């Protein structure tokens, strides 16, 4: 039974931003549940404003709702005030479109884009009255699936998910739902449905595999424990040119993080940065033609009225038609008062060809990612960047009216010394001062610094994270050098440590996730709700040390908890790239 309107209104009167839970937005889709239809709730395990900024949710929501045989609705992690209301009132978490309790859906699909949302997954299940662990679910419970960037190492959350869908969802998810409906209509029970789904490309059912460990608890291998499931799961891929894109998108009632039209111009990245998981799991590079991008952009504007268009990719300046496309879109959009933004601009000579474009787009701020101020480290990490090109790019931007720069760096790569802080500040000041030659005043430079966290399926997957003492010294040196024109923000070291421990963990790590959630952890990506001590205790409960797991070093050729997942290059090629970096597993 759906939550009563009068009760919901009463609950919403006591929470911050009730618009997160009301639904009914422009272009949202309301369909009747019923026989012959598969119902799926797309769940984003963070608050509404984050989830509604995620392009993947928009694509899958509208793609599925264009099918007559599917009812697709949305749900997001409730903020603690709404969670308290649900628990106090004894109500289940519900979908936005029809306020149907999640436990009434056939399938719930989670998008995992960040490891620190794992406890939110468990919390959403619990608030819905769905058993948190897959081995305790019965015939009447929904099938719980998950995909997204963090799913490429599914093991730290595998006991809570029935099936993972790896790769591009535009084709994989509809095929999954078709197979589910056929199996269910044929009278198959829960276990037989999962057996059938496990035979689809890109589908991993963790309960059909057993993790083997030695006497010390070290991971040895993962082996199938039922017949007919693959030993290696390859992710699915679609061509971008004709991949589905929704031109009639939901327009939220409240402001979300990215309140704009976002269109992918390129999926995958031609660069070979050895630390980058996003590039590693989206190979090969696939393009949308400028004609297709323009068509989608104009149709989406007609249906939404958004005032900003963003051209998305991992490195938009490497899109071969970026100049032509930007010039045409500016011609189309500027008379309508619509802005154009191009994030992820790689610094190379191609940027020099865009001065007219960048002057038309916006003049408030420009973002570059040098990653490190060391020439040697840039070469080792595969970041093809020349500092003279960076400086020249900044000068061109200043001449065309840009006033601020934002720079992204990582610290803690192997071999880096503590003076990397001084080198970062020196480079930031140099870039700020370059504006004096253009306008007589220095530029405002914002420096965002993250500790290096190794990720699965990259050439650096074998490395460990740098120790806390080193990172704290670098942070102190950086943040102590703030000036009026150069300001440094250093990402929380505790959160980075947890991210590193979770991203390369195994099934034992999943017990820490469960323990942390039971102890009260949720909304861990939000600093005001993050409790590092609670997480350290949870790892101890699982027989692990959090910071030892974060700094864990693997050797090429040794078993990896995520070794059964194949999103792109195999281990042999990754090991060769690792060797070319010159880094060693030992510090």
Residue 59 to residue 169: CA distance in whole angstroms = 9
pLDDT tops 60 at residue 478: yes
Distance of CA 116 to the CA centre of its chain: 11
CA 82 to chain centre: 24
pLDDT of residue 347 exceeding 80:
no
Would you say residue 320 has pLDDT above 50? yes
**Dihedral, CA of residue 370, residue 375, residue 381 and residue 383, to nearest 10:** 50
Residue 368 confidence (pLDDT): 84
**Separation between Cα atoms, residue 312 and residue 297, nearest integer Å:** 12
Q: How far apart are CA 284 and CA 277, in angstroms?
A: 13
| Domains of the chain and any CATH numbers | 5-167+169-234 (3.40.50.2300), 241-354 (3.30.750.210)
Q: Give the model's confidence band at 326: pLDDT under 50 very low, under 70 low, under 90 confident, else very high.
A: confident
Asked if 220 contacts 213 with a C-beta cutoff of 8 angstroms, the reply is yes
**R_g over Cα of the chain:** 24
3-class DSSP assignment, residue 300: helix
**Quick one: average pLDDT of 525-534?**
97
Joined together, the tokens standing for residue 31 give: 């369909």
Q: Is the pLDDT of residue 357 over 80?
A: no
Taking residues 111-125, report their average pLDDT: 97
Q: What is the DSSP string of 356-394?
A: HHHHHH-SS-EEEEEE-S-HHHHHHHT----HHHHHHHH
Residue 556 token pair: 């090429």
**What band does 353 get if pLDDT is binned at 50, 70 and 90?**
low
Percentage of the residues of the chain whose pLDDT score is greater than 70: 96
Q: Give the tens place of pLDDT for each residue, 228-256.
A: 999 999 999 999 999 999 999 999 999 99
Instruction: With residue 584 as reference, give the H or E element that holds it.
Output: none
Cα–Cα dist 567/275, whole Å = 15
pLDDT bucket at 361, cuts 50 / 70 / 90: low
Give the DSSP per-residue string, 448-487: EEEE----TTSTTTTPPPPPHHHHHHHHHHHHTT--SSEE
> How is 127-172 classified by DSSP, letter by letter?
HTT--SSGGG--TTSPEEEEESGGGGS-GGGGGG-SEEE-B-HHHH
Residue-wise pLDDT tens digits, 69-84:
999 999 999 999 999 9
Average pLDDT of the residues of the chain = 92
Identify the pLDDT of residue 345.
57
The predicted-structure confidence for 196-232, as pLDDT tens digits, reads as follows 999 999 999 999 999 998 888 889 899 999 999 999 9
Banded pLDDT at 38 (limits 50, 70, 90)? very high
265-287 residue pLDDT tens: 999 998 889 999 999 999 999 99
Tokens of 171: 């084709």
The backbone region for 543, taken as left when phi is positive above 0, alpha when psi lies in -120 to 50, beta otherwise, is left
> What would the pLDDT profile of 332-346 be if each residue is shown by its tens digit?
988 988 888 877 555
Mean pLDDT of 540-547: 97
| Residue 355 predicted with pLDDT over 50 | no
Q: Which residues contact 572 (CB under 8 A, 6 or more apart)?
A: none
pLDDT digits (tens, 9 = 90+) for 367-418: 888 999 999 999 999 988 888 888 888 888 888 787 888 999 999 999 888 8
Please enumerate in sequence order all residues whose Cβ is within 8 A of that of 140, keeping only pairs 6 or more positions apart, or say none.
none
pLDDT of residue 570: 86
Sequence-distant contacts of 477-481: CB under 8 A, at least 24 apart: 477/418, 477/421, 477/422, 478/421, 478/424, 478/425, 478/447, 478/449, 481/421, 481/425
Burial of 217 per CB tally in 10 Å (0-12, 13-18, 19+): exposed
Residue 312's DSSP bridge partners are 264
Its pTM stands at: 0.95
Reading the block at residue 68, the tokens are: 């007559």
Nearest to 152 by CA among 581, 521, 568: 568
């Amino acid at each position: 039974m759906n939550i009563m309107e009068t009760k919901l209104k009463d609950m919403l009167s006591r929470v911050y931003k009730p618009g997160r839970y009301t639904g009914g937005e422009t272009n949202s889709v309301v369909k009747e549940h019923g026989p012959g239809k598969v119902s799926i709730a797309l769940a984003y395990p963070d608050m509404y404003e984050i989830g509604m900024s995620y392009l993947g949710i928009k694509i899958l929501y509208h793609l599925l709702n264009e099918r007559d045989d599917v009812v697709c609705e949305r749900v997001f992690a409730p903020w603690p005030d709404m969670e308290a209301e649900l628990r106090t009132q004894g109500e289940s978490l519900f979908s936005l479109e029809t306020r149907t309790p999640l436990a009434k859906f056939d399938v719930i699909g989670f998008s995992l884009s960040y490891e620190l949302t794992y406890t939110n997954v468990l919390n959403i299940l619990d608030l819905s009255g769905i058993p948190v662990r897959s081995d305790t679910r019965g015939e009447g419970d929904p099938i719980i699936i998950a995909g997204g960037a963090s799913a490429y190492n599914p093991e730290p959350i595998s006991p809570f998910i029935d099936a993972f869908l790896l790769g591009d969802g535009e084709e994989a998810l509809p095929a999954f739902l078709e197979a589910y409906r056929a199996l269910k209509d044929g009278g198959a029970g829960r276990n037989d449905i999962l057996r059938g789904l496990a035979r689809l490309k890109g589908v991993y059912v963790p309960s059909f595999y057993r993790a083997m460990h030695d006497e010390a608890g070290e991971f040895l291998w993962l082996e199938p424990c039922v017949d007919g499931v693959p030993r290696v799961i390859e992710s699915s891929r679609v061509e971008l040119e004709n991949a589905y894109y929704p031109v009639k998108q939901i327009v939220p009632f409240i402001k979300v993080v990215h309140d704009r039209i976002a269109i992918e111009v390129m999926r995958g990245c031609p660069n070979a940065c050895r630390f980058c998981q996003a590039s590693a799991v989206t190979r090969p590079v696939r393009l949308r033609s400028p004609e297709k991008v323009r068509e989608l952009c104009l149709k989406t504007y007609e249906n939404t009225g958004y005032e900003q268009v963003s051209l998305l990719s991992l490195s938009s300046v490497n899109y071969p038609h970026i100049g032509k496309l930007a010039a045409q879109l500016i011609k189309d959009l500027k008379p309508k008062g619509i802005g154009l933004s191009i994030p992820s601009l790689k610094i190379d000579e191609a940027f020099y060809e865009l001065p007219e474009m960048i002057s038309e787009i916006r003049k408030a701020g420009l973002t570059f990612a040098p990653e490190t101020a060391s020439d040697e480290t840039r070469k080792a990490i595969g970041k093809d960047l020349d500092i003279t090109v960076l400086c020249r790019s900044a000068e061109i931007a200043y001449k065309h009216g840009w006033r601020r720069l934002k720079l992204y760096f990582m610290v803690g790569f192997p071999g880096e010394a503590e003076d990397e802080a001084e080198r970062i500040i020196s480079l930031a000041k140099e870039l700020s001062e370059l504006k004096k030659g253009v306008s007589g005043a220095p530029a405002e430079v914002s420096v965002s610094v993250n500790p290096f966290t190794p990720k699965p399926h990259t050439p650096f997957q074998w490395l460990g994270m740098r120790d806390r003492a080193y990172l704290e010294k670098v942070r102190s040196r950086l943040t102590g050098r703030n000036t009026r024109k150069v300001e440094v923000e250093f990402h929380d070291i505790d959160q980075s440590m947890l991210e590193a421990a979770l991203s390369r963990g195994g099934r034992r790590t999943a017990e820490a996730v469960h323990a942390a959630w039971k102890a009260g952890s949720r909304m861990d990506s939000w600093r005001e709700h993050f409790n590092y001590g609670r997480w350290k205790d949870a790892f101890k409960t699982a027989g692990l040390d959090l910071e030892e797991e974060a700094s864990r070093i693997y050797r090429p050729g040794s078993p990896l908890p995520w070794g059964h997942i194949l999103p792109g290059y195999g281990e042999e090629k990754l090991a060769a790239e690792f060797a070319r970096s010159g880094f060693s597993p030992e510090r």
